[in-house]
Structure 1
Amino acid sequence: MDAASAGSETPAMDHEETGPVHLRRIDPSRNMRRFYTLAIQPTLFGGASVIRNWGRIGTSGRSMMETFDRDADAASASSRLERTKRRKGYRDSRLG
């Protein structure tokens, strides 16, 4: 019975691992202290939304929500945005 319940919980655990991504870019020489957050949230109609929040660290920043019909499309868009930000110098905020 444990094996059956473990198998049924695997997809939910995978979904939890793809939680919000918190990035930041700090460059004191340019007086730059920015943050960028990406999250995927389910919609009421079976789709998913990519929620972005960005701005200067210490402010509430700006937000944008883009809705997709399929979860896979939202995950793809989120991954693409994250790669773009990392190429521009954003790093995980918990790494220091």
Structure 2
Amino acid sequence: MSGFTTTRFECIDPAKNKKAFYTLSTGHGLFCFMLIRCWGRIGGRGHRLTKCFASEAEMLLEYERLCRKRRQRRYSLTD
């Protein structure tokens, strides 16, 4: 995924036995702007969903919406 920017969130709550990750990758594919979402339990394989957008502005709106949603659900940004 050369040329893609990746943002990773994690949510760890020992009381609830929760160890989750959520990754957003944005970039330009061959025919569209792409937003790739990966999520699952830390250490697991996880799930993946790719969505294409006609414009970069549409992709960035969805990216910002998903980042807000993760923060509301107590995920923290990791490097």
Report the TM-score when normalising by structure 2: 0.90
Stretches of structure 2 lacking an aligned partner (at least 5 in a row) = none
Number of corresponding residues: 77
Identity %: 32
Larger CA Rg, structure 1 vs 2: 1
Q: CA deviation at 1:60?
A: 1.6
Asked if residue 31 in structure 1 is aligned to residue 12 in structure 2, the reply is no
Structure that is richer in strand per residue: 2
Root mean square deviation of aligned Cα: 1.5
Tell me the CA shift for residue 79 of structure 1: 0.8
The answer on 1:91 being equivalent to 2:76 is yes
Greater relative contact order structure (CA < 8 Å, 6+ sep): 2
**Which among 16, 26, 42 is matched to residue 28 of structure 2?**
42
Deviation track 1:4-43 (CA, whole Å, cap 9, x = no partner) reads: xxxxxxxxxxxx8x92110000000000000000011212
- List structure 1 runs of 4+ shifted beyond 2 angstroms: none
2:47 aligned residue? 62
Structure 1 residue 92: Cα displacement:
1.2
Q: Which has the higher helix share?
A: 1
Code of the residue aligned with 2:12 in structure 1: it is I
